[in-house]
Amino acid sequence: MAGEPQADCLFCKIVSGEVPATVVRETDTTVAFRDINPQAPTHVLVIPKAHHPDAASLAAADPQATADVLREAGAVAADEKLDETGYRVVFNTGSGAGQTVFHAHAHVLGGRGLNWPPG
């Protein structure tokens, strides 16, 4: 069923605590934790606690949780003082765009100059 934990999903295991993570923020519906392979001085992932494979599926199934993820992305940026210099929120969607974990997640990136367009 949409939203149910998936036994083989890395980010569901981070939500349950089975896999450790450096959690920086948590709400009833979201968890934010540092990316294990950071691509910028600040690189935090914000995920819904419920399992949805990508951002579009999350938005279709649960608009409130989608809003919660975006609000928390902004809160992470403020916590890390990125709101003063600028930051990027990225949802890689599909393997051709670099998605490797199929549990929706927002990358919050900042703390260095960010080129546009991204690679």
State the residues that interact with ligand AMP by CB under 6 A. 10, 19, 21, 33, 35-37, 45, 92, 98-101
Rounded-to-integer distance, Cα 95 and Cα 81, Å: 31
Write the interaction track for Zn ion spanning residues 22-51; mark x where CB under 5 A is met and - where it is not: -----------------------------x
Question: Which two tokens mark 100?
Answer: 């490797």
43 is known as an active-site residue: no
Q: How far is the CB of 11 from ligand AMP (least distance, A)?
A: 8
Rounded-to-integer distance, Cα 48 and Cα 68, Å: 8
Q: How far is the CB of 82 from ligand AMP (least distance, A)?
A: 17
Residue closer to Zn ion by CB (options 5, 111) is 5
Question: Which two tokens mark 32?
Answer: 């934010």
| Region near Zn ion per CB under 5 A, out of 5-13, 29-37, 62-70, 86-94 | 5-13
Q: How far is the CB of 9 from Zn ion (least distance, A)?
A: 3
Burial of residue 108 (CB within 10 Å: 0-12, 13-18, 19+) is buried
Cα 92 to its chain centre, rounded Å, is 10
